[in-house]
Amino acid sequence: MLPTLIALAEPNRYRIIELLSKGPRTVGQIAERLELRQPQASKHLRVLSDAGLVEVHRLAQQRIYRLRKEPFQAFDAWLESYRNLKEESYDRLEAYLQTVQAKEKSHASKK
Amino acid sequence: MLPTLIALAEPNRYRIIELLSKGPRTVGQIAERLELRQPQASKHLRVLSDAGLVEVHRLAQQRIYRLRKEPFQAFDAWLESYRNLKEESYDRLEAYLQTVQAKEKSHASKK
DNA sequence: CCTTTATATTCCTTGACAAGAATATTCCTT
DNA sequence: AAGGAATATTCTTGTCAAGGAATATAAAGG
């Protein structure tokens, strides 16, 4: 998940992903639409590709980029852990925190 | 969405979020569990707080941090745009790309 | 082949930001 | 009030990555 997040957490790459969500595009189209210089577009696309967020297809001299589904599915799965965040009131937390503390101690793993 | 991504896209902050998904923790607990120095823990927590990912509650000298739900709900909503990625076969893309190209031209906005 | 079109890569510079160390702040206890 | 515990802030330094400019590679057409 982290690698995906890191790849996404850059304004221009984020914009590229948004654009590609509307459908595949060539490098030239991406650069033009987002007003990026071609080399920067290519470089960002490489990062996205390395992170597995997009895939390429060659068509003559053009390279068609499009989103891959898997990373977004993984994202969705990752969100599961955050869908049931409890909103316990804070006055009960003191005791809870002590419990946590105790567990940590007993686990007492690393140095 | 970008600010959230940026806040998350750092290894230690990501770990903090994972830890907090199990329940609220004090700064000390977080630092100990993740083997971070206290100041770095505080600094990361500030970034997460500024991004709206966590909220704080004071209990004596302690600060209890916990996840906020909203950012994750927003995340979920954002994913909607990526849940129905079409897997059109590439041989039909050429024509499609030209269509896109044409639209861009007609929109012909900036400079 | 040579030229043009489309894209990728390399090198360089600069800015942002994370860690470390030291210090400040806050609040409890006695 | 003083000391100690928990957390926050400041300052400095080193690293990394994004952008710019130039160049390289790939493919098509004449």
pLDDT tens across B87-102, in order? 777 778 878 888 887 7
Q: Does residue B84 surpass a pLDDT of 80?
A: yes
Q: What is the pLDDT of residue A90?
A: 74
**pLDDT tens-digit map of B16-48:** 999 999 999 999 999 999 999 999 999 999 999
Widest pairwise Cα distance in chain B: 66
Neighbour order of strands in the sheet with A62-67: A25-26, A62-67, A54-59
Q: What is the pLDDT of residue A105?
A: 66
Comparing CA positions, the residue from A97, A59, A44 lying closest to residue A34 is: A44
Amino acid A82 CA to nucleotide D2 C1' distance, rounded Å:
45
Q: Do B64 and A97 touch (CB under 8 A)?
A: yes
Q: Is the CB of A95 under 7 A from strand D?
A: no
Comparing CA positions, the residue from A76, A68, A72 lying closest to residue A50 is: A68
Alpha carbon of residue A82 to chain centroid: 16
Distance CA A33, CA A8 (A): 18
Comparing CA positions, the residue from A10, A5, A20, A34 lying closest to residue A63 is: A20
Provide the token pair at A39.
Answer: 């080399």
CB-nearest to A5 from B14, B24, B26 is B14
Amino acid B46 CA to nucleotide C22 C1' distance, rounded Å:
20
* Percentage, residues of chain A above pLDDT 90: 75
